[in-house]
């Protein structure tokens, strides 16, 4: 049984349908990457998984249990299992780094504050940000903010970490510090579903690549197979453009 | 002019000054109470209004209706409405209470809009981040959105309250013993209107000017809280 199964999911932004029947699976401990041209619906897939964009048709299963996104309780359960990191970090601007990481575990899960803070400091160390625990988001670089955002998501102890183009808003020289943090998580066996334009990184870290175009999954496979020998014309055309040079 | 000068010693007696002082206090306490309670209620209203979910839809319509209606009615009319409405329900409500309720009703309509604007000034992505972490609507608002919205909300809310100090003059129409009402009394006692209302005008100015200065000071402080904190850090040896 797959850890996460997305079955024929449709989603709309208002009247505009952006996902037309998405299907793929993620196994426990696996890193799966969604790649494809801009506007192909990759980010929307992640947003539907945490209920930020409503699913209009199809189903999402976690460990074999289908999630009914219309039910508040099911949505809560889904968000308990999946945490998302956004392209624009979205750290809370009014609180420092440590508080950003500890807010949800203490307020939502009602856990002991000191215990959560200790864990948070470990997570910040994991992403190399422990010396900035007292800093405010607007005092940090984009790369630093994004690493804090990853620690914040991990503090929720998700089964699956969703990473939405986490390096796209960063200056080139800051990309690697974030990718290193993700590599470390991958080595530790964290299940991750990521959307990325960093093809070399995707190839290195993923066990499976899902190529999407215009709201549909075009093909799925091991990174080497998808990158080097794509079956569809669309994928061949896309990788021909992004991998050249 | 001669009359004014000759009346001055009689007018500025302790009794009259105490009368005006009390009236000024009445004006201030009415405004403060009405605006504070109004602000708190407006905050609660906006919280309900911005709540997600279908159950909040009628509330949303009600809020919009309330704001639109009461912003289009003169304050004096609100006062009379409250007065006559309350008098049909209970006969022993004090005029002060009626005045405070009127101010409340009016303040809710104005500050609700100010609060809504402040909340909308915070990027929607902050709400999404909180939602995705399973924070409730109230937790999201309280911990992340409102703290970021205060710098946008407080200055105009304060400015509204300060300007309302003078608008409360209208409640003299129903006989509350506030500043303007006492002015009318003194004028009826034969004191020169220019003298009496000149003094009253000074009183209003003396009350609202320092408060608006305070408002400007707060606005400056709130506008750039973090950059100022950073400046303080740099200045620290």
Q: Which domain range does residue A84 map to?
A: 4-93+157-243
The verdict on residue A219 lying in a domain is yes
Joined together, the tokens standing for residue A68 give: 């009914």
A interface residues, B as partner, C-beta within 8 Å = 50-52, 76, 79-80, 83-84, 86, 88, 90-95, 103-104, 107-108, 136, 138-139, 152, 156
Say how many domains are in chain A: 1
Q: Distance between CA atoms of A44 and A21, rounded to whole angstroms?
A: 12
What residues does A31 pair with on adjacent strands? Answer: A192
* Residues in B touching A76 (Cβ below 8 Å): 134
| Residue B75 CB coordination number (10 Å) | 18
Helix axes A172-187, A142-154, angle to 10 degrees: 20
Closest CA to A93 of A58, A145, A147, A20: A145
CB B109 within 8 A of CB B62: no
* Residues in A touching B141 (Cβ below 8 Å): none
CATH classification of the domain holding A223: 3.40.50.300
Average pLDDT, chain A: 93
- Whole-number Cα distances in Å, B75 to B65, B69, B80, B168: 17, 12, 9, 9
The ipTM estimated for the assembled molecules is 0.90
User: Helix, strand or coil for residue A90?
Assistant: coil
CB contact, 8 Å: B130 with chain A? Answer: yes
Q: In the sheet where A16-26 sits, what is the strand order?
A: A16-26, A4-13, A55-62, A65-66
Joined together, the tokens standing for residue B23 give: 């009236």
Q: Which domain range does residue B41 map to?
A: 2-235
**Residue A123 reports pLDDT greater than 70:** yes
The pLDDT > 70 percentage for chain A reads 99
Helical H segments across B121-192, by residue range: 124-132, 137-139, 146-167, 179-188
CB contact, 8 Å: B121 with chain A? Answer: no
A104 and B133 within 8 Å at the Cβ level: the answer is: yes
pLDDT tens-digit series, residues A148-204: 999 999 999 999 999 999 998 888 888 998 999 999 999 999 999 999 999 999 999
CB contact, 8 Å: B150 with chain A? Answer: no
Q: Quote the pLDDT of residue B226.
A: 56
Among chain A residues, the shortest Cα distance to B229 is held by A136
CB contact, 8 Å: B143 with chain A? Answer: yes
- Whole-number Cα distances in Å, B198 to A210, B180, B188: 79, 11, 15
CA A211 to chain CA centroid, nearest Å: 16
CATH classification of the domain holding B153: 1.10.3720.10
Say how many domains are in chain B: 1
Q: Using the 8-state DSSP alphabet, how is residue A67 labeled?
A: P
The verdict on residue A132 lying in a domain is no
pLDDT tens-digit series, residues B162-191: 988 988 888 888 888 888 988 898 989 888
Q: Distance between CA atoms of A241 and B162, rounded to whole angstroms?
A: 63
Q: Quote the pLDDT of residue B191.
A: 87
Average pLDDT, chain B: 87
B148 and A93 within 8 Å at the Cβ level: the answer is: yes
Look up tokens 């992340």; give the residue: B144
The verdict on residue A210 lying in a domain is yes
**Residue B233 reports pLDDT greater than 70:** no
B126 and A95 within 8 Å at the Cβ level: the answer is: no
Among chain B residues, the shortest Cα distance to A75 is held by B134
């Amino acid at each position: 049984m797959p850890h996460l199964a997305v079955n024929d999911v449709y989603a709309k932004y208002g009247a505009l349908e952006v996902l037309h029947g998405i299907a793929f699976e993620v196994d426990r401990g696996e890193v799966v990457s969604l790649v494809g041209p801009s506007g192909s619906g990759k980010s929307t897939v992640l947003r539907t998984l945490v209920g930020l964009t409503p699913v209009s048709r199809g189903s999402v299963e976690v460990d074999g249990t289908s999630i009914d996104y219309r039910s508040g309780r099911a949505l809560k359960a889904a968000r308990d299992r999946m945490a998302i990191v956004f392209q624009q970090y979205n750290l809370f601007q009014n609180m420092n780094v440590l508080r950003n990481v500890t807010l949800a575990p203490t307020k939502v899960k009602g856990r002991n504050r000191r215990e959560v803070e200790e864990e948070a400091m470990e997570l910040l160390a994991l992403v190399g940000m422990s010396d900035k625990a007292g800093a405010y988001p607007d005092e940090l670089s984009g790369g630093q903010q994004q690493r804090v955002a990853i620690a914040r998501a991990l503090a929720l102890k998700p089964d699956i970490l969703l990473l939405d183009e986490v390096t796209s808003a960063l200056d080139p020289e800051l990309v690697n510090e974030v990718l290193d943090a993700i590599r470390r998580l991958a080595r530790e066996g964290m299940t991750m579903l990521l959307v990325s334009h960093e093809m070399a990184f995707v190839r290195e870290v993923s066990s499976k690549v899902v190529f999407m175009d215009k709201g549909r999954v075009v093909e799925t496979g091991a990174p080497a197979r998808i990158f080097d020998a794509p079956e569809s014309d669309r994928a061949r055309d896309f990788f021909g453009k992004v991998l050249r040079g | 002019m001669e009359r004014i000068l000759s009346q001055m010693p009689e007018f500025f007696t302790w009794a009259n000054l105490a009368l005006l002082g009390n009236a000024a206090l009445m004006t201030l306490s009415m405004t403060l109470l009405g605006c504070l309670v109004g602000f708190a209620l407006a905050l609660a209203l906006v919280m309900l209004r911005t709540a997600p979910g279908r159950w909040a839809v009628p509330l949303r319509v009600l809020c919009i209706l309330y704001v639109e209606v009461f912003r289009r009615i003169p304050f004096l009319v609100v006062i009379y409405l409250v007065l006559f409405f309350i008098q049909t329900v209970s006969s022993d409500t004090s005029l002060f209470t009626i005045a405070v309720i009127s101010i409340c009703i009016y303040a809710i309509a104005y500050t609700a809009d100010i609060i809504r604007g402040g909340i909308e000034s915070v990027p929607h992505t902050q709400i999404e981040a909180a939602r995705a972490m399973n924070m409730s609507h109230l937790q999201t608002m309280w911990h992340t959105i409102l703290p970021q919205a205060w710098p946008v909300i407080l200055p105009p809310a304060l400015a509204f309250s300060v300007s309302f100090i003078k608008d409360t003059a209208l409640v003299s129409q129903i006989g509350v013993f506030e500043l303007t009402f006492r002015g009318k009394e003194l004028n009826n006692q034969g004191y020169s209107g220019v003298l009496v209302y000149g003094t009253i005008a000074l009183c209003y100015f003396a009350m609202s000017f320092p408060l608006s200065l305070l408002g400007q000071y707060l606005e400056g402080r709130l506008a750039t809280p973090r950059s100022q904190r950073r400046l303080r850090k740099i200045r620290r040896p």
